[in-house]
Amino acid sequence: MTDQNNRPASLQLVWLRRDLRSRDNKAIYYASQHENKNSSVVCVWFSFPEQWQEHHDSSNKIHFWLENIKTLDKNLAVFNIPLITRTLSRYSDASAALIDLAKRLGVAGLWFNDEYGINEQRRDTEVEHSFQQAGIPCHRFTDDVLVKPGSLLNKQHKPFKVFTPFRKALYASLNLQDALPLPAPEKQQPITINLSSDNLLDIQPTATIRDFWPTGERAAHEALQEFVAERSENYKKDRDFPAQNGTSILSPCLTAGTLSIRQCFTTALQGNDGELDTGSSGLVTWISELIWREFYRHILVCFPRVSMGKAFKEETERLPWKHDKSLLNAWQEGRTGVPIVDAAMRQLVTTGWMHNRLRMVVAMYLSKDLRLDWRLGEQFFMEHLIDGDLASNNGGWQWAASTGTDAAPYFRMFNPVSQSEKFDPDGEFLREWLPELREVDDKTIHNPSASDTLFYDESVYPKPIVDHKRAREATLTAFKRLKSEGQP
């Protein structure tokens, strides 16, 4: 039964967020299966420019989202599901905007997939309350993760704080059937919606991301299939070498939700004959990396202070960070005089992405060699990353700074030159990003100023802005002092 606008008796409204895919999206799938066969599904997506700015979300990432929205609109049309876009300002606008839409469209139910940042959780609780008050059912799903964050507890019924037992517990509790991707949503009756969409924001990326990051579900799937079939076998061996094409580079797709965690997990599992922790060492390692993503979401939910700019280890709030803008600028601009750090930072600013080994190296360098507050680095990453993700970024930064859960012990400090020699032995990655060092030989390129001071030209490439050995001593002293002062 449809009304005079050719509208079915009731509509199910799906609110999309960081789950920009038509397939294996729980909210869309279950809304499309709604028992009221007279209903149809409509999707809505909101821009929140002021909130995004406050969260330091990069223009690279937002541009990527917006490009994906255009593709998603076409993918949803295959199932006769219209997509409405609206530009709001802050999360606090969401509730009123959704209720307004619900009233105008005669919506019978709201459907969405949960997000886990503290502001996102507050927003969603407010929306749920408004819908309860309006008497419209609200259906929420655990979709972004394999296991609901906070639901896995240790033997003492406390949240896990260490990765390996968390992963073991997750593997033990996981029902593999639940991790399978869902079938395609049911095709809906064609409907006409008499509501126009707002124009999508015109946000220009700062990096040359168009060349690097194809958009859409199809491209994401092809990349996943290609990785699992062609490259995963060598993942364990190659993944630490930034000059190799050794990792999946799927993080932008997972962050925007053009790929689901179930699609990644199941494709890897199928590639490994259904084995989780035996079989292909490459796939076993890769699946374990997917679980790090789960782990940091679990930490975000169980210890919400990390969502609010606080250290996981509270005593580390007393670490005496340096306040030196010139050091920060040199790090951000790739002018530290440490080639591996500078090359990595230039990769970030140019492409919106950085290899995992390098994220660890530059994060440890900022927090332990330069002794700048890890939050400055965390923010700069968010401002540039196309895959910027609160949980994983915060987890990675606090790991490197030794302020986090299951973090690197404070006395573990990478020597960036040794890291460079080990993980880019021929200087291939360095030469790609530091053209001024292209002619330098394979040994010298890792630490040019140390080789021959007589012929060293600082106008070509700077000397290191800090001495690693001395910085190491100072950092160790600062951490030891914390220990001797005891817990707060």
Binding site for ligand FAD (CB under 6 A): 239, 247-251, 254-255, 289-290, 292-293, 296, 356, 359-360, 363, 381, 385, 387-389, 392-393, 395-397, 400
Nearest residue (CB) to ligand FAD, 56 versus 463: 56
Active site (annotated) includes residue 397: yes
Min dist CB 363 to ligand FAD, Å, is 4
d(CA 55, CA 71): 25
β-strand 107-113 against 39-47: which pairing, if any?
unpaired
Q: Is 48 or 381 the residue whose CB approaches ligand FAD more closely? A: 381
Nearest-CB residue for ligand FAD: 396
Nearer to ligand FAD, 110 or 413 (CB): 413
CB nearer to ligand FAD: give 127 or 250. 250
Q: Minimum Å distance from CB 54 to ligand FAD?
A: 17
Q: Per the residue annotation, which of 15, 45, 292, 399 is the catalytic one?
A: 292
Q: Is 321 a catalytic residue?
A: yes
Instruction: CB nearer to ligand FAD: give 303 or 456.
Output: 303
Between 108 and 253, whose beta carbon lies closer to ligand FAD? Answer: 253
- What's the alpha-carbon Rg for the chain, to the nearest Å? 24
> Is 292 labeled as catalytic in the residue annotation?
yes
Distance between CA 430 and CA 435 in Å, rounded? 8
3-state secondary structure the chain: CECCCCCECEEEEEEECCCCCCCCCHHHHHHHCCCCCCEEEEEEEEECHHHHHHCCCCHHHHHHHHHHHHHHHHHHHCCCCCEEEEECCCHHHHHHHHHHHHHHHCEEEEEEECCCCHHHHHHHHHHHHHHHHHCCCEEEECCCCCCCCCCCECCCCCECCCHHHHHHHHHHHCCCCCCCCCCCCCCCCCCCCCCCCCCCCCCCCCCCHHHHCCCCHHHHHHHHHHHHHHHHHHHHHHCCCCCCCCCCCCHHHHHHCCCCHHHHHHHHHHHCCCCCCCCCHHHHHHHHHHHHHHHHHHHHHHCHHHHHCCCCCHHHHHCCCECCHHHHHHHHCCCCCCHHHHHHHHHHHHHCCCCHHHHHHHHHHHHHHCCECHHHHHHHHHHHCCCCCHHHHHHHHHHHCCCCCCCCCCCCCCCHHHHHHHHCCCCHHHHHHCHHHCCCCCCHHHCHHHHCCCCCCCCCCCCCCCCHHHHHHHHHHHHHHHHHHCCC
- How many other CB atoms sit within 10 Å of the CB of residue 226? 12
Residue from 80, 115, 186, 321 carrying the catalytic annotation: 321
Q: Residue 6 catalytic?
A: no
Active-site residue identified among 111, 374, 399, 433: 374
Smaller CB separation from ligand FAD, 359 or 375: 359
Closest distance to ligand FAD from the beta carbon of 44 (Å): 26
Q: 409 burial class (0-12, 13-18, 19+ CB within 10 angstroms)?
A: exposed
Taking the complex as a whole, the smallest distance from the CB of residue 242 to ligand FAD amounts, in Å, to 10
In the complex, the smallest distance separating the C-beta of residue 250 from ligand FAD, rounded to whole angstroms, is: 4
Q: What are phi and psi of 383, to 5 degrees?
A: -70, -15
399 is catalytic: no
The one catalytic residue in 356, 415, 428, 436 is 356
Q: Whole-number minimum distance, CB 391 to ligand FAD, in Å? A: 8
Residues 6 or more apart whose Cβ sits within 8 Å of residue 303: 159, 312, 405
Name the minimum Å distance from CB 382 to ligand FAD: 7
Nearest residue (CB) to ligand FAD, 182 versus 360? 360
Q: Of the two residues 73 and 406, which places its CB atom closer to ligand FAD in the complex?
A: 406
Nearest to 354 by CA among 346, 7, 134: 346
* Closest distance to ligand FAD from the beta carbon of 362 (Å): 8
State in angstroms the smallest separation of the CB of 394 from ligand FAD: 8
| The pair of three-digit structure tokens given for residue 23, joined into one six-digit string | 């397939």
Whether residue 15 lies in the annotated active site: no
The residues carrying an active-site annotation are 289, 292, 321, 356, 374, 397
